[in-house]
Amino acid sequence: MLFRSTPIYLENNYRVFQAGLHSADVEAHLECLNLRHWQEGSKKVLDAGCGVGEVTKYFASKHPDAEFVGLNISSEQIKEAEKNKPDNVSFEISSYENMPFEDETFDFIYFYQSIGYRPLLKTLEEAKRVLKPGGKILISDMCSVEDPDPQQTRWIQYVQDIWHYMCYPVWYHVEAAHFFDFKIIDVNKNLNPILEFDSWSNLVDNGLGEFHNCQVPFSPIKVAEFLYQKI
């Protein structure tokens, strides 16, 4: 569903495919991601659900000694991502559940609001397979609010049905990490107070909401982050 709405994102100069940004200025947002999330010493990096490759290419420009792979199921988005890519970047078309990589390939894997498109357990299982021992996984994603009131519960279900995206609660992410014996380094349960949502609201008003045929309040959803390490 999402990749067919790609032109709406691009026409609105919204190239990162994330609901909440650290800044309405995409360049400033990308710099904040780099400062907060980059794992020093990473030499082989996977952007899982790379969209049109904006984060992939930005990180690659900041870390020219590392090799980056952007993974996405959408050929349309990959075609856009291929434009002006640095020499240390390549892109692959595939699903998280069947990644076209050898075991223990990557030092660092990150999912920026992309992991909800596929079942979490299967995705983490495959991510663990392609991650080197000691490698890290960073997940920044929309999560449902714990213990919502009944109306919010209905809205969360509506979002998931219309957007074809699972907003897993924080506790489920943590339990899934425990299931696969990841070491949990950090969990930020709610980044909403420090994120900028006005750009997202404008995007929804300028075609994205109409594309999905919905109007949804933001209150039941929060952006959370998780950093794990493969033991």
User: How does pLDDT run across 150-209, given as a tens digit for each residue?
Assistant: 877 887 887 788 778 899 999 999 999 999 999 999 999 999 999 999 998 888 888 888
Q: What is the largest CA-CA distance in the chain?
A: 51
First vs last Cα of the chain: how many Å apart?
A: 35
Q: How far is CA 124 from CA 153, 165, 185, 192, in A?
A: 26, 16, 16, 25
31-63 pLDDT per residue, tens: 999 999 999 999 999 999 999 999 999 999 999
Instruction: State the DSSP code for 148.
Output: -
pTM recorded for the entire structure: 0.94
Retrieve residue 139's tokens. 């997940």
Residues 6+ apart with CB under 8 A from 118: 95, 96, 97
